[in-house]
Amino acid sequence: MTAINTAAIDAAAGRPARAGAPPRLWATGLAASTVWLALAGLTYGLPDTGDWSRTTLVAGAFALTGLGLAAAVLATAATGRTAARLAHLGPWLVVFPLFLTTWELLAAKSEILPQPFFPPPQALVEVFTDDYAKLGLSLVHSLRLHATGYVLGALAGFVLGVSIGWSQRIGYWVHPVLRFVGPLPATAWLPIAFFAFPSSWSASVFLVALATAFPTTILTWSGVAAVPSAYYDVARTLGAGRRFLIFKVAIPAAMPHVFVGLFMGLGASFAVLVVAEMLGVKAGLGWYLQWAQGWAAYANMYAALLVMTLVCSTLITLLFRLRDRLLGWQKGIVKW
């Protein structure tokens, strides 16, 4: 008869160990701590092939991470409980330092990866510590431009989508135009936008808004058109007027589709933002990328890409949080 490992069952469920049972050890955390500390020793101990001024700082950060994980392992053994978040991140806490170790060996400790095209981690840290003012200012400019264009595009797409979905007359005139203009990439309008608008900033705002408006319009329109007619019949039976039917029936029922359009518009708008800043705007992350490439400052380029990744991921996460808050009955259906 197979024996039941109650300690393993408790660990998988995140429950504290049963009374009298030996303390559980967070094995994944112990492995992660070992790898991070080994990475710190390798980073500090092996000589660099280039002049990287932040090697000691990076090695210290790796060591602190390893010591923090060691403290978490000891806390787990003492309390008999592993935090659910740490348990979920455990495999990544092992794999990520292994990736950093490979990167460090190939870029900083040997000449296998040619420089300056593939800078090591300490080169990126040097950018964040030395060039934070220019990078931060570029981030502020990008956020301001993107927020302006995205909000305008989302509002325009929402209003247009509701109008088309509700009124056949409006749909008759707008739908052909939408089919002609919408599928074109927003970047294809660059020459016209920079000629038609008084400044490169306003042209870039228009392009970001255009990239956001099309998916928002299509999905909002689909959501309004897909509302069951029974909803309207019940509301009319209770004496609802046209305004009530639009704002209290059609729009709330279409909100799941609206958020899908907003997600799609957010991704498309970021792609347009980078292109627009590279070609016409004198500040922003896209401009920073172009500047770094022109000076062969590849560490700065990778640092800007990392910032853009974190910003875009954060904004999508916030949009998902807003969706889950407004559409509580659909929480967890769309994953991010």
Question: pLDDT band for position 333 (50/70/90)?
Answer: low
Residue 177's CATH number = 1.10.3720.10
198: Cα within 13 Å, side-chain hemisphere: 0
- Angle at the Cα of 76 (from 70 to 82), degrees rounded to 5? 110
Domain annotation covers residue 93: yes
Is the domain of 175 the same as that of 246? yes
- Is 80 exceeded by the pLDDT of residue 329? no
Domain annotation covers residue 127: no
Is the domain of 279 the same as that of 216? yes
Q: What is the mean pLDDT of the chain?
A: 86
Name the token pair of 218. 């299509």
Nearest alpha carbon to residue 76 among 164, 127, 34, 17: 17
Q: Which domain holds residue 107?
A: 6-119
Is the domain of 193 the same as that of 140? yes
Domain annotation covers residue 336: no
Burial class (CB in 10 A: 0-12, 13-18, 19+), 246: middle
Domain annotation covers residue 87: yes
Domain annotation covers residue 149: yes
Q: What is the pLDDT of residues 18-29, one digit of tens each?
A: 444 455 678 899
The residue among 78, 93, 119 that closes a domain is 119
Annotate 151-178 with b (16+ C-beta within 10 A) or e (fewer). ebbbebbbebbbbbbbeeeebeebeeeb
Is the domain of 111 the same as that of 143? no
Is the domain of 260 the same as that of 303? yes
The residue among 66, 86, 119 that closes a domain is 119
CB 117 within 8 A of CB 298: yes
For residue 259, the model assigns a pLDDT of 92
Is the domain of 274 the same as that of 182? yes
For residue 64, the model assigns a pLDDT of 97
What one-character-per-residue DSSP string does 189-220 give?
GHHHHHHHSSSHHHHHHHHHHHHHHHHHHHHH
Name the token pair of 5. 């490992």
Domain annotation covers residue 108: yes
For residue 175, the model assigns a pLDDT of 85
Is the domain of 52 the same as that of 146? no
pTM for the structure as a whole: 0.82
Is the domain of 80 the same as that of 138? no
- Is 50 exceeded by the pLDDT of residue 2? no
Is the domain of 90 the same as that of 172? no
CB 165 within 8 A of CB 172: no
- Is 90 exceeded by the pLDDT of residue 324? no
The tally of domains found in the chain comes to 2
For residue 332, the model assigns a pLDDT of 63
Question: What does the pLDDT average to over 30-51?
Answer: 93
Question: What percent of the chain clears pLDDT 70, i.e. is strictly above it?
Answer: 90
Question: What percent of the chain clears pLDDT 90, i.e. is strictly above it?
Answer: 46
- Is 50 exceeded by the pLDDT of residue 208? yes
Domain annotation covers residue 113: yes
Domain annotation covers residue 97: yes
3-state secondary structure of 253: helix
> Which range is least confidently modeled, 260-264, 297-301, 322-326?
322-326
> Which range is least confidently modeled, 4-18, 88-102, 208-222?
4-18
How far does CA 331 lie from the centroid of its chain? 19
Question: What does the pLDDT average to over 227-251?
Answer: 87
Is the domain of 326 the same as that of 209? yes
Cis check for the bond before 116: say yes or no (omega within 30 of 0).
yes
Question: pLDDT band for position 261 (50/70/90)?
Answer: very high
For residue 11, the model assigns a pLDDT of 47
> Which range is least confidently modeled, 79-83, 108-112, 228-232?
79-83
Is the domain of 177 the same as that of 292? yes
Is the domain of 86 the same as that of 160? no
CB 300 within 8 A of CB 256: no
Question: What does the pLDDT average to over 152-160?
Answer: 95
The residue among 60, 94, 119 that closes a domain is 119
- Is 80 exceeded by the pLDDT of residue 292? yes
Annotate 266-283 with b (16+ C-beta within 10 A) or e (fewer). bebbbebbbbbbbbbbeb
Q: What is the pLDDT of residues 45-55, one digit of tens each?
A: 999 988 888 99
- Give the helix ranges, DSSP H, for the chain: 6-13, 27-45, 55-79, 84-107, 121-130, 132-166, 168-181, 190-196, 200-225, 229-237, 242-244, 251-279, 285-294, 298-326
Contacts of residue 162, Cβ cutoff 8 Å, sequence gap at least 6? 220, 221, 224, 246, 250, 251, 254
Q: DSSP secondary-structure letter at 250? A: I
